[in-house]
């Protein structure tokens, strides 16, 4: 496994499988959810080279923003480049653990639009909301969301939803 991957590699995985194009907002949130599920079962092993930051509109991976922000709210129909890095811009086809994670995330959240996914990340008690509130919503630039907060949120989602065994298998648990 060539982990950690750039968040752009995860974004490219989702973009390549969405034939109608995917918005920047949606791809940010899908990558965030995949990262959360990874942490829930594999912490402290890192899968991404970058942690999400607390931005005004929720958790954001700066590399994804840099690669796709020029799209605005138009659907993304091209793969992104990893800027200033030797990290691959693609998930290795032979990386079964990561491909299963991304497939699980796509099945669970793929039908939701970016705004619905954004609402999920803004709810009371989510890592983004906790961090933003702790700064009275005047968040300093480059503030990372601690992976432990994200892990705890997705562990709780797992416990509350009683994931089925086949879902846990898809997550490599």
pTM equals 0.92
Please check whether residue 74 lies inside any domain of the structure. Answer: yes
Give the number of domains in the chain.
1
pLDDT one-digit tens code per residue, 41-82: 999 999 999 999 999 889 999 999 999 999 999 999 899 988
Q: Check whether 168 has a pLDDT greater than 60.
A: no
pLDDT one-digit tens code per residue, 31-43: 999 999 999 999 9
Please check whether residue 81 lies inside any domain of the structure. Answer: yes
Residue 48 sits at φ, ψ, to 5 deg, of -115, 150
Q: Is 144 left (phi over 0), alpha (psi -120 to 50) or beta?
A: beta
Please check whether residue 2 lies inside any domain of the structure. Answer: no
Q: In this structure, how many other beta carbons lie within 10 angstroms of the beta carbon of residue 103?
A: 15
Please check whether residue 1 lies inside any domain of the structure. Answer: no
Closest CA to 7 of 54, 71, 66, 57: 66
């Amino acid at each position: 496994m060539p982990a950690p991957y750039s968040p752009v590699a995860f974004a490219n995985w989702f973009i390549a499988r969405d034939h109608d194009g995917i918005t920047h907002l949606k791809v940010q949130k899908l990558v965030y959810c995949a990262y959360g599920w990874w942490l829930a079962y594999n912490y402290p092993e890192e899968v991404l080279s970058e942690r999400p930051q607390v931005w005004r509109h929720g958790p954001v991976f700066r590399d994804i923003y840099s690669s796709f922000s020029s799209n605005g709210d138009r659907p993304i129909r091209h793969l992104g480049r990893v800027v200033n890095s030797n990290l691959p811009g693609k998930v290795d086809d032979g990386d079964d653990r990561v491909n299963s994670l991304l497939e699980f995330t796509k099945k669970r959240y793929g039908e939701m639009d970016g705004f619905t996914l954004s609402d999920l990340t803004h709810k009371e008690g989510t890592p983004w909301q906790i961090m933003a509130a702790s700064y009275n919503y005047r968040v300093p630039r480059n503030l990372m969301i601690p992976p432990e907060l994200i892990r705890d949120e997705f562990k709780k989602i797992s416990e509350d939803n009683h994931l089925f065994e086949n879902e846990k298998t898809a997550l490599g648990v």
